[in-house]
Amino acid sequence: MIREAHDAGLFTIVSTNAQAMTSELATALVTSGLDRIIVSMDGFTDASYNAYRIGGSLEKTKQALRWLREAKGRMVIELQCLRLRTNEHEWGEMKMQYKSLGADKLTLKTAQLYDYADGHPLMPSEEKYSRYIKGKDGKYHRRKLSKGCWRVWSGCVITTSGEVLPCCYDKGHAFSYGNIMEASIKDLFRSEKAQAFRKAAYQQTPNICQECYK
């Protein structure tokens, strides 16, 4: 699927926790023409990593980065870390070390949390690094965003089953434009479903847009 998209002139990105990465898969991703791979690593030690990536392996992530670096080619390797209270003491070290891990770029990203109204143990200690702010009522609220979203006009997400989604926030496939096994990506991207979603996204009416913080 990546190779077909690449050959059609589309810019391709894969986001992964890298737990299933192998040396062979890393090579296959590079040779497919993949433009960028985002590897999530939400902690620099086992304790901070497992505070969010429960059941995951930090060492598997580091090994995946090494395999990707060895196979690299022209693909950009982006290391992504959520800003969490459990790893905030490691942000500085991560900024200094990400290249030695095999990444070309580091992105520190705010985290989407659930049940945040009364606070959350993963919220960063400094509010400026959080998607949520404390109101006069003593409760936490999502930050208000300006209307509009360039992402739904410039790209989409294609799942492993072929569903075409407006973005990665559509985790339940509630706003699928259709499936590439049944129609071309060009037709799906320009479909009535896609146009209707973009109109709604401008007003931030879909629930996935209300959770977004781009």
DSSP 4: H
Residue 74 burial (10 A CB sphere; 0-12, 13-18, 19+): exposed
Alpha carbon distance 181, 179 (integer Å): 5
Tens of pLDDT, residues 146-205: 666 788 999 999 998 999 999 988 989 999 999 999 999 999 999 999 999 999 988 878
Over residues 17-70, the pLDDT tens digits come to 999 999 999 999 999 999 999 999 999 999 999 999 999 999 999 999 999 999
Q: Can you give the pTM of this predicted structure?
A: 0.88
Q: CB atoms < 10 A from the CB of 21, how many?
A: 21
Nearest to 106 by CA among 114, 115, 98: 98
DSSP 122-155: TS-SSGGGSSEEE-TTS-EEEPP--S--SHHHH-
Residue 36 tokens read as 């960028």
Distance CA 129, CA 33 (A): 34
